[in-house]
Structure 1
Amino acid sequence: MTVTTWDEPAGATARGTLIVLPGRGETGASYQRFGTRLAADAYRVRLVPVDLDDLAAAREQVEKLLADESLPAPKVLVGTDSGATLAATIVGEVDADAAVLAGLALPGAAPAPGATWDDELDARSACPVHRSVIEGDAGFERAALGRPLPWSSLEVTAPAKPVLVVHGAADAVSPAAEAVAPYVGAPGARTWLVQGGRHDVLNDVSHRSVAATIVLFLESLKLGPELPAVLVPASGAVDGPA
């Protein structure tokens, strides 16, 4: 299994490790922009391929990375589509500090296998750059969103670890209300909808805002698992030098 890597700039001190679990059809090429951006903020990024027919292999690789003492904490699972579903099911069982779930895939919610490639592109992303990336990726599996998930149902309870959920409000693959419902109001969960966002929410037109939201979550996580705020509204007196 080949793990794709992005590292912090030379001379920077790594601030944590992100273990990316991609979704159906995707390769490392789909996350070059995301990996480069988060690495520039001094987070090490490791992308683990996810074969829906061999989830045990993906989990084994995740556990190896979590046990690798050369990779700095906090260590956070970042899943998209079926990778987000996998992250949601294992985050409480492995030695990860938190999870980011972007565009959760829901059992039974995939589009019909007969959908055209243009339909799939529209469902995935409105970002012209990302669409050109996956159209030019020879390893990208077209029509993969029609593949059934290996889970018959997804039972999610209040997370025991910090979780950030980011979902497209216009996601036609996984309806937003159903996808985020288990997390809304749950202790330790931060849930955001991206206005107009489609399924590949890490690679949609609002990818900059989504990445910034993830960085804020990570920086808060570094302060503690209670996710203390890094930025607060200014009101009244502001603390500072006397």
Structure 2
Amino acid sequence: MSSSFSWDEPEGLAARGTLIVLAGRGEHGGVYERFGRRLAFDAYRVRALGDASADPAVLDEAAKLLADESLPGPKVLVGSDTGALYAARLAAERTPGADALILVGLPTSPWTSGSWEAEVKARTGCPTHQGRLANDPRFRRGALDSAPELPELHLDRVQVPVLALHGKDDTVSPVDEALAAYAGVRTVLFNGGRHDVLNDALHRTAAATVVLFLERLRLSPGLPLIAEERA
């Protein structure tokens, strides 16, 4: 079974919910350490899993975490790249325990990098994360060029609140194609953002956007936005 990575709330604070992260092509759960630590600081537990397109056991592991009564709710599935498709599949199948869904960099069409330099720049504009990927022996270079058999997207079958995050400069999943796939879903676009929004140069803003979504979810997803920008 795929190993998971865990980040918990600080000692003395009550946990406010659980995020279950499904990584994308070539990634493992540890790639989301920065995101996990940031959300844990806000008292959310984070469990980050691997690439389900390479290891189907990841889906079983995600289902077990959703069913784990020791983990506090609400429980939110978070998927990046192909992980977004698998997270959406679990939500569409109404896997018990899933209270919400966050989609990040949903893939829309095949993409070819041609080189490692092109791939890492397409993934993230953050020098720190680029360095991590370059020096991570568990990360699989060239995975974005692969075309694994993936589940179809059926957001019309998803009965829980959904948030989509997408970079406007994402060359792996062009924003116009992504917006068509996200139709009807609350979507936040990041100016200058690349494919992996959670690990991009704007990762702090992405994490803050996720926290706002989670805080609203805890109260009631039907309530007005907690923070709303007006011109």
Q: Give yes or no for TM over 0.5.
A: yes
Q: For structure 2, list consecutive stretches of 5 or more residues without a partner in the other structure.
A: none
Q: Which residue of 2 aligns with 1:216?
A: 212
**For residue 64 of structure 1, what is the aligned residue in structure 2?**
64
Residues 1:181 and 2:177 are matched in the alignment:
no
In structure 1, the gaps of 5 or more residues are 235-242
Match of 1:231 in 2: 227
Change (3 A) 1:152 1:102: closer
RMSD: 1.8
Q: Does 1:15 align with 2:16?
A: yes
Taking the aligned partners of 2:170 and 2:5, their CA distance within structure 1 comes to: 27
Match of 1:238 in 2: none
User: What is the CA distance between 1:53 and its match in structure 2?
Assistant: 4.3
Change (3 A) 1:152 1:59: closer
Are 2:83 and 1:91 aligned? no
> The residue matched to 1:181 in structure 2 has which SS?
helix
1:169–1:197: 8 Å Cα contact kept in structure 2? yes
Q: How many Å separate the matches in 2 of 1:63 and 1:22?
A: 15
Show the counterpart of 1:52.
53
Q: Is residue 2:40 matched to residue 1:39?
A: yes
Q: Deviations over 1:92-128 (max 9, x none)?
A: 221200011011122x32225xx11001011101100
Q: How does 1:95-114 map to 2 (within 5 A)?
A: 95=96, 96-106=98-108, 108-111=109-112
Among all aligned residue pairs of Structure 1 and Structure 2, give the percentage whose two residues are the same amino acid.
50
SS at match of 2:156: coil
Partner letter of residue 41 of structure 2?
A
Q: Following TM superposition, where does structure 1 have runs of at least 4 consecutive aligned residues deviating by more than 4 angstroms? A: none
What secondary structure sits across from 1:104 in the alignment? coil
CA distance in 2, matches of 1:227, 1:111: 42
2:26 aligns with 25
**Distance in 2 between the 1:72 and 1:167 partners?**
27
Q: What is the TM-score when the length of structure 1 is the normalising length?
A: 0.88
Aligned equivalents of 1:120 and 1:233: distance in 2? 34
SS in structure 2 at match of 1:225:
coil
Change (3 A) 1:137 1:53: closer
Report the alpha carbon displacement of residue 54 of structure 1 after superposing the two structures with TM: 4.1
Length-normalised TM-score, structure 2: 0.92
What code does the residue aligned with 1:89 have? R
Note if contact 1:161-1:225 (Cα within 8 Å) is conserved in structure 2: no
- In structure 1, what is the equivalent of residue 156 of structure 2? 157
Paired AA for residue 171 in structure 1: D
Structure 2 residue corresponding to 1:198, chosen from 149, 174, 194: 194
CA contact (8 A) 1:29 1:137 kept: no
How do 1:126-137 and structure 2 match up within 5 A?
126-137=125-136
Q: Helix, strand or coil: the match of 1:191?
A: strand
What is the number of residues matched between the two proteins?
Answer: 227
- Say whether the 8 Å CA contact 1:91–1:99 is kept in structure 2: yes
What is the distance in 2 between the residues matched to 1:232 and 1:141?
39
After superposing the two structures, state which structure 1 stretch, 95-104 or 220-229, moved more.
220-229
| CA shift for structure 1 position 182 | 3.5
Larger Rg: 1
Distance apart, 1:159 and its partner CA: 3.8
